[in-house]
A and B are shown apart, each in its own frame.
Chain A
Amino acid sequence: MRSFYAIYRKEMGHYFVSPVAYVVIAAFVLITAVLFSVDLNYEMTQAMRQQMQGMQYGMPTNVDVPSAVLREFFGLFSTLVLFLAPMMTMGVFADERKRGTMELLMTSPISETQIVLGKFFASLTLFAIMLAPTLVYVIFLFAHSDPAPPWKILAGGYAGILLLGGSLLALGSFVSSLTENQIIAAVLTFLAILLIWLLNIGQSLSGWVGSTLAYLSLISHYEDFTRGIVDTSSLIYYFSFMALFIFLTVRSVDSMRWRRA
């Protein structure tokens, strides 16, 4: 546990002594802020138009703007994470190998699992820190909508994005452990995420193949969360996804001992 914390602490320090973390967080906050206001505007106009149409036919409709905004917003989040995760994890192991510090870690009395978990939870913490400022917009939305949208959507949305992010970070760490080159790690992670994302096309296929593909897609489970639905099968999906890639990373780090350095 102490060694796990030592690795975690070192990784956090590594993120925050360099300007990279601050730049990435600032960029993320800026982009999400712009997207949020565009999203809010769009949904408001849509709702207004629908109400006007309804009035013309003499039956005014009620549109749940806040929920629609949130759903749309969390959808945009997931797209951003697709780009962010490869950048956050590309150096996790690749850099360590290139600098030769992997040799230090692997000749220290710590297990591969401690190394991998320390790094994984550090990247997940950085991700959570990045998300934190976006709570401001969402709380603003809750404060100004009447009636307030169900808190389940808020909680579900953030739980979903953390699970999705965690899965992508686990996948990214694994890819990073395969190469010494950060750029290759980033590109391969991006392609791998895209591929698993696109399994969603299974939804349009019929039969068990289609439904299996859809189940395996990263994004189909996420959509439930943004509607405030926490489905056990989705939880199992994300937790097994993370566990699988953490396990593979541990094996991959261990196999470095057998490769020719």
Chain B
Amino acid sequence: MIEVENLTKSYGAVTAVDHISFTVNKGEILGFLGPNGAGKTTTMRILTGFMPATSGTARVGGFDVTNESLEVRRRIGYLPEAPPVYPDMSVESYLDFVARIKNVPSDRRADRITDALQKTSLVDKRHELIKRLSRGYKQRVGIAQALVHDPDVIILDEPTVGLDPKQIIEVRNLIKGLAGSHTIILSTHILPEVSMTCDRVVIINKGKVAAVDTPQNLTSQLKGGQKIRVEAQAPDKALQDLLEKIPGVHRAVVEAAHAGGLSVATVEAAPGQDLRSQIAAQVVGKGWPLCELRGMSLSLEDIFLELTTEDAAHEQPAN
């Protein structure tokens, strides 16, 4: 559905997007993961026809985003970083306006507006002025706006930013519900969001694609493996020695004892094996009360550190 090839965007000397390539299949949800300033927004703006690329090509539904911009724009629903709403309009009249400029035929307009309102749970706010809505509701109006013309492709730039936890879950479910009939690209800097909603992930950093894979593969393939947090009432030195002797453990870092003789250790283990039961058995075998044992999911920072240090290591011999 979407093919991006060697896409590059430079602003003067700054290269915001540097030769990125990826494809999105029909009905798929692709997550765009990266820190702020990685080039996520720029890539999305190019795909939506908002700005032209410096070089490279991008095609949406077979249409080139630069040369057949109008055709691409007909097929895309786009939620920018800030919901593009008019504060003085009511939710319904705003969606009506968007439906008109997106060329929704007049006989289908009312149905499409109702559908968008229902999908985003805005039906009872339809007559409210947008300026009186809370941040979360404004964001939903922004999403409704991207759905109102029933586009083939939906591009959402950080759709859950500024929402409360309950709303975030609602929006994620909404996005999952849209997959299949729509092809979706969403950007985020929150890792769990990607693993919960996306079929595939493109990690971009400093304008370059660092990895493209499914969230599962991405987390397990990383060389850093897993981290386990251990809390036990034990002398910290002895605990560290014990943990480091367990086969498969790379390193154990024990923090100074907390109140009540509690030691907290972070164990870094090789990927692909679950050491939790072994650790538990060893600690309990020593007669130390085990208070907590928890596998820690890798944070985005970990993945980035992993990917960027790996890149640097690969690049050095070449230089």
A13–B101 contact, CB under 8 A? no
Tell me, yes or no, whether B251 is within 8 Å of chain A by CB.
no
A124 interfacial by beta-carbon distance below 8 Å? no
Contact check, A103 vs B84: say whether CB atoms are below 8 A apart. Answer: yes
Q: Which residues of A contact B78 (CB under 8 A)?
A: 103-104, 107
CB distance from A204 to the nearest CB of B (A): 48
Interface segment, A2-10, A27-35, A150-158?
A2-10
Give Cα distance in the complex from A208 to B76, angstroms.
Answer: 56
Q: A103-B50, A104-B80, A107-B73 are in contact. Are A3 and B88 (CB under 8 A)?
A: no
Q: Pick the contact of A258: B51, B76, B83, B103 (CB < 8 A).
A: B51
In the complex, A2→B159 CA distance in Å? 30
The residue from B73, B83, B89, B93 contacting A108, defined by CB atoms under 8 A apart: B73
Contacts of B80 in A (CB 8 A): 100, 103-104
B100/A3 in contact, CB under 8 A? yes
Q: A3-B103, A103-B80 are in contact. Are A257 and B50 (CB under 8 A)?
A: yes
Are A6 and B97 in touch, CB under 8 angstroms?
yes
Contact with A along B62-92 (1 / 0, CB 8 A): 0000000010011010101111111111000
Expressed in whole angstroms, the minimum distance between the Cβ of A31 and any Cβ of chain B is: 26
On whether the beta carbons of A110 and B101 are closer than 8 Å, the reply is yes
Residue contact B52 to A257, C-beta cutoff 8 Å: yes
Q: Which residues of B contact A111 (CB under 8 A)?
A: 70
A100 touches B52 (CB 8 A): no
Q: In the complex, how many residues of chain B place their beta carbon closer than 8 angstroms to a beta carbon of chain A?
A: 30
Max count, chain A CB within 10 A of own CB: residue among B52, B82, B101: B101
CB pair A108 B102 closer than 8 Å? yes
Question: Which among A7, A14, A258 is the interface contact of B52 at CB below 8 angstroms?
Answer: A258
Given A14-B88, A103-B80, A104-B80, decide whether A109 and B51 contact each other with a Cβ distance below 8 A. Answer: no
* Shortest distance from the beta carbon of B106 to any chain A beta carbon, whole Å: 9
A144 on the interface (CB 8 Å rule)? no
Residue B207 at the chain A interface, CB threshold 8 Å: no
Residue-wise, chain B 3-25 has the 8 Å CB interface mask toward A (1 for contact) of 00000000100000000000000
Nearest residue in A to B97 (C-beta to C-beta)?
A10
Chain A interface residue count, Cβ-Cβ cutoff 8 angstroms: 28
For the complex formed, measure the closest distance between the CB of B6 and the CB atoms of chain A, giving whole angstroms. 20
Report how far A105 CA is from B52 CA in the complex, Å: 16
Most chain B CB within 10 A, of A10, A13, A101, A108, is at A108
Contact B85 A101 (CB under 8 A): yes
Contact B101 A107 (CB under 8 A): no
B98 CB within 8 Å of chain A: yes
Q: Of all chain A residues, which has the CB nearest B16?
A: A260
User: Helix, strand, loop or mixed for chain B's interface?
Assistant: loop
CA distance A18 to B89 in the complex (A): 10
CA distance A2 to B89 in the complex (A): 20
Report the bound CA distance from A98 to B102 in whole Å: 22
Nearest chain A CB to B64 CB, angstrom units: 15
Instruction: Name B84's contact: one of A2, A6, A99, A110 (CB within 8 Å).
Output: A99
Query: Bound state CA distance, A62 and B85, in angstroms?
Result: 62
- Determine whether the beta carbon of B51 is less than 8 Å from that of A101: no
Chain B residue numbers with a CB within 8 Å of A109 are 70, 73-74, 101-103
- Complex-state Cα separation, A101 to B103, whole angstroms: 17
Minimum CB–CB distance from B105 to chain A (whole Å) comes to 9
Decide if A17 is an interface residue (CB 8 Å cutoff): yes
Q: Which residues of A in the span 128-185 have a Cβ within 8 Å of any Cβ on B?
A: none
In the complex formed, the residue of A with least CB distance to B74 is A109
Contacting residues, chain B, for A82 (C-beta < 8 A): none
Contacting residues, chain A, for B39 (C-beta < 8 A): none
A106-B80 Cα distance, complex, nearest whole Å: 12
Q: Is B215 an interface residue (CB 8 A)?
A: no
| A2–B82 alpha-carbon span in the complex (Å) | 27
Task: Tell me, yes or no, whether B34 is within 8 Å of chain A by CB.
Answer: no
CA distance A6 to B95 in the complex (A): 12
Chain B residues numbered 20-63 whose CB sits less than 8 Å from any CB in chain A? 45, 48-52
Q: How far is the CA of A108 from the CA of B78 in the complex (A)?
A: 9
Residues of B within 8 A of A13 (CB): 89, 93
Within 8 A of A (CB), among B98-123: 98, 100-103
Chain A residues contacting B74 (CB-CB under 8 Å) are 109
Complex: A91 Cα to B126 Cα, angstroms: 26
> Nearest residue in A to B47 (C-beta to C-beta)?
A107
B44 to chain A, nearest CB (A): 10
Bound complex: CA A257 to CA B66 (Å)? 11
CA A100 to CA B82, docked complex, whole Å = 7
Q: How far is the CA of A18 from the CA of B86 in the complex (A)?
A: 12
Chain A residues closer than 8 Å to B88, beta-carbon distance = 14, 17-18
Which residues from chain A contact B11 at a C-beta distance below 8 Å? 260
Q: Which residue of chain A has the shortest Cβ distance to B77 in the bound complex?
A: A107
Q: Does B76 contact A107, Cβ atoms closer than 8 Å? A: yes
List chain B positions with a Cβ less than 8 A from chain A.
11, 45, 48-52, 70, 73-74, 76, 78, 80-89, 93, 97-98, 100-103, 145
Known: A5-B100, A107-B48, A109-B101. 13 other contacts (CB 8 A): A10-B89, A13-B89, A17-B88, A18-B88, A101-B85, A104-B80, A104-B84, A104-B145, A107-B76, A107-B78, A257-B52, A260-B11, A261-B45
What are 30 A-B pairs with beta-carbon distances under 8 A?
Answer: A3-B101, A3-B103, A6-B101, A9-B97, A10-B86, A13-B89, A14-B88, A14-B89, A17-B88, A99-B84, A99-B86, A100-B83, A100-B84, A101-B84, A103-B50, A103-B78, A103-B80, A104-B80, A107-B48, A107-B73, A107-B76, A108-B102, A109-B102, A109-B103, A110-B101, A111-B70, A258-B51, A260-B11, A261-B45, A261-B51
